[in-house]
């Protein structure tokens, strides 16, 4: 990371670096990037349209209700040979809230753009849309399972 000293000797932020980070956001469909070095921290984020939905939460004690949370449409999930892969690192949820029906089951027919699951990343619920129309032939993750970028989530043929 580069820092510049102003005429007064104070550190200033390299605007070229901020522009590069903003370009990375656009190129990768990420919603936020944060970097930190020594005592300098730069966070670049962008707003997406917000939709309201119930947020899944892990409950350790009974009788807890799931609070409503904002859900931000996620970057489109990639699809290779029918496998839908995760566009981010996070926790996969197969239903909109604990105790509710799952978005899709094996054998269900989905249309391109239908929500097939959500991934929680940095306390944001990201709806993952189907990249194409077809039939769900396999669900490769379990509810509340941590997932990595590029990990196969399900197969839609």
pLDDT of residue 101: 94
- pLDDT tens by residue, the chain, 157 residues: 544 554 555 566 777 777 877 777 677 777 777 777 777 777 777 765 444 455 555 555 444 444 444 444 445 555 556 899 999 999 999 999 989 999 999 999 999 999 999 999 998 999 999 999 999 999 999 999 999 999 999 999 9
Residue 54 in contact with residue 69, Cβ under 8 Å?
A: yes
Question: What is d(CA 3, CA 40) in angstroms, rounded to the nearest whole number?
Answer: 9
| Domains assigned to the chain | 11-45 (no CATH), 51-57+66-156 (2.40.50.100)
């Amino acid at each position: 990371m580069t820092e510049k000293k102003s005429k007064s000797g104070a550190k200033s932020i390299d605007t070229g670096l901020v522009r590069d980070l903003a370009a990375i956001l656009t190129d990768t469909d990420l919603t936020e990037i944060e970097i930190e070095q020594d005592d300098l921290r730069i966070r670049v984020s962008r707003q997406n349209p917000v939709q309201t939905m119930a947020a899944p939460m892990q409950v350790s004690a009974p009788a807890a209700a799931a609070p409503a949370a904002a859900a931000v449409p996620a970057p489109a999930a990639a699809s290779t040979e029918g496998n839908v892969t995760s566009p981010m690192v996070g926790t996969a949820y197969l239903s909109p809230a604990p105790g509710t029906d799952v978005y899709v089951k094996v054998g269900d027919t989905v249309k391109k753009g239908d929500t097939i699951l959500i991934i929680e990343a940095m306390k944001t619920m990201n709806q993952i849309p189907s990249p194409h129309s077809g039939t769900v032939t396999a669900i490769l993750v379990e509810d509340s399972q941590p997932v990595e970028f590029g990990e196969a989530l399900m197969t839609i043929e």
